């Protein structure tokens, strides 16, 4: 039940602000919303599983202790360690599930969800080429659209500039606007065009079809690679090897492309550690967070016994406080991921060691009746 609760809460936090506008508009089918939800749930489970395990242990053992059931169990000759061993084994099994979600499924689903969300945004072409006004959002062009019916355009006028002296105007009675998700752009096809060139002589020509490509993101952001935070574990390992290769291989103007030479130049200027540290941080973060279920369970059992309360709100408050402490180390390491001297990829392991050490000591004392 706690898994469902945290999944629902985290899902709302991620999806509502991004999908609510499409749901309210009524232009998105339920199947699309269901697909987006299905892609988000594995990503949400990365965080929901450890939080749910912690909350469940706090609530169960808090109630267990408050109702004096722990005393009854001890009186029957069963030790606390024997009682909690199946729960600890369950937490280790959930660590395996978390590792599978952290390292493979979660990042892939997040990338697929972002692509789906981008496709929805691109399909609402009226947001980019609204009808009845001049649009100056695309460098080098000014557009005017008479009517926009979900990408089917009418009475389109395009003002463009080839250079400082030559200006052209394209008039088209109808056009088609289609999203290109892979390249983060819009493809505009103009039909039955009249092309007028101004400056340096006036000329008039006709074309049956003219195609324009409109970038929705700057060139530097239109990379086929996902960001480091959305890479799977094998992709991060490949990225780490690629960074090391770029910083070790000498620059060859004949064998490498201009982009590759520029990447190597930047790598040599900034040094391998500065470029490699963010990648190592993401690798260690994914692996370290996979063990959060065990650490949360180990510290949640004795804390629930010590709190000795039946109230649900007390257990939830303690769980949220512990989660905040855990993630504070993650945020600290993330803020230092460009400073290799601080070893940020080791900071993400500190909450695991801290929670497991404290939980082991508290559980040992609770087993002795302390």
Model confidence over 83-96: pLDDT tens digits? 889 999 999 999 99
Integer Cα distance of 101 and 107 in angstroms: 8
Q: What's the rounded mean pLDDT across residues 299-303?
A: 89
Highest mean pLDDT (candidates 4-13, 88-97, 151-160, 248-257): 88-97
Q: Determine if the pTM surpasses 0.75.
A: no
Same domain (yes/no): 39, 105: yes
Asked if the structure places residue 261 within a domain, the reply is no
Q: What pLDDT score was predicted for residue 349?
A: 94
Q: What is the tens place of the pLDDT at every residue in 308-359?
A: 666 677 778 888 899 899 999 999 988 888 888 888 889 999 999 999 999 9
CA atoms within 13 A on the CB side of 30: 0
Q: What pLDDT score was predicted for residue 162?
A: 65
Total of domains in the chain: 2
Q: What's the rounded mean pLDDT across residues 292-316?
A: 82
Same domain (yes/no): 190, 294: no
Residue 88: CB partners within 8 Å, gap ≥ 6? 294, 297, 298
Q: What pLDDT score was predicted for residue 21?
A: 60
Higher-pLDDT residue of 196, 5: 196
Integer Cα distance of 45 and 89 in angstroms: 19
Same domain (yes/no): 204, 141: yes
Q: What pLDDT score was predicted for residue 252?
A: 47
3-class DSSP state for residue 169?
A: strand
Same domain (yes/no): 117, 138: no
Residue 228: CB partners within 8 Å, gap ≥ 6? 236, 239, 278, 279, 282
The answer on pLDDT for 18 being more than 50 is yes
3-class DSSP state for residue 306?
A: helix
| Mean pLDDT score of the chain | 78
Integer Cα distance of 145 and 92 in angstroms: 59
Q: What pLDDT score was predicted for residue 212?
A: 87
CA atoms within 13 A on the CB side of 276: 18
Same domain (yes/no): 97, 32: yes
Same domain (yes/no): 80, 159: no
Q: What pLDDT score was predicted for residue 270?
A: 46
List the structure tokens of 218. 């700057």
Q: What pLDDT score was predicted for residue 218?
A: 47
Same domain (yes/no): 18, 117: yes
Q: What's the rounded mean pLDDT across residues 137-158?
A: 84
Same domain (yes/no): 110, 137: no
Q: Which domain covers residue 318, as residue numbers?
A: 2-122+277-367
The answer on pLDDT for 11 being more than 60 is yes
In which order are the strands placed within the sheet that holds 141-149? 134-135, 141-149, 152-161, 167-180, 185-198, 203-215
From 215, 242, 264, give the residue that closes a domain. Answer: 215
Q: What's the rounded mean pLDDT across residues 266-274?
A: 54
């Amino acid at each position: 039940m706690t898994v469902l609760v945290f999944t629902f809460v985290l899902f709302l936090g991620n999806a509502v602000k991004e999908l609510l506008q499409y749901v309210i508009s009524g232009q998105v089918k339920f199947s699309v919303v269901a697909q987006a939800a299905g892609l988000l749930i594995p990503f949400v489970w990365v965080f929901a599983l450890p939080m749910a395990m912690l909350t469940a242990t706090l609530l169960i053992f808090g109630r267990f202790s408050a109702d004096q059931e722990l005393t009854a169990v001890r009186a029957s000759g069963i030790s606390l360690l024997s009682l909690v061993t199946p729960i600890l084994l369950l937490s280790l099994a959930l660590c395996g599930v978390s590792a599978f979600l952290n390292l493979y499924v979660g990042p892939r689903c997040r990338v697929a969800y972002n692509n789906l969300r981008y496709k929805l945004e691109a399909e609402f072409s009226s947001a980019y080429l609204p009808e009845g006004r001049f649009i100056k959002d695309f460098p080098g062009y000014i557009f005017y659209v008479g009517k926009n019916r979900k990408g089917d355009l009418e009475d389109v006028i395009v003002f463009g500039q080839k250079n400082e002296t030559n200006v052209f105007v394209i008039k088209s009675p109808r056009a088609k606007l289609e999203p290109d998700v892979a390249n983060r752009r819009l493809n505009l096809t103009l039909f039955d065009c009249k092309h007028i060139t101004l400056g340096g002589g006036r000329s008039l020509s006709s074309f049956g079809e003219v195609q324009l490509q409109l970038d929705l993101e700057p060139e530097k952001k239109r990379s086929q690679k996902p960001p480091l935070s959305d890479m799977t574990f094998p992709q991060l390992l490949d990225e780490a090897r690629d960074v090391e290769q770029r910083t070790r291989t000498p620059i060859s103007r004949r064998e490498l492309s201009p982009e590759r030479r520029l990447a190597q130049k930047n790598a040599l200027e900034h040094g391998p550690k500065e470029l490699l540290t963010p990648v190592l941080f993401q690798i260690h973060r994914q692996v370290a967070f996979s063990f959060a279920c065990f650490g949360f369970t180990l510290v949640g059992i004795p804390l629930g016994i010590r709190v000795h309360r039946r109230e649900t709100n007390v257990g939830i408050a303690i769980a949220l406080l512990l989660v905040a402490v855990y993630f504070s180390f993650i945020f600290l390491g993330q803020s230092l991921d460009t400073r290799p001297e601080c070893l940020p990829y080791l900071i993400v392991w500190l909450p695991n060691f801290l929670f497991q050490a404290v939980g082991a000591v508290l559980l040992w004392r609770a087993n002795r009746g302390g």
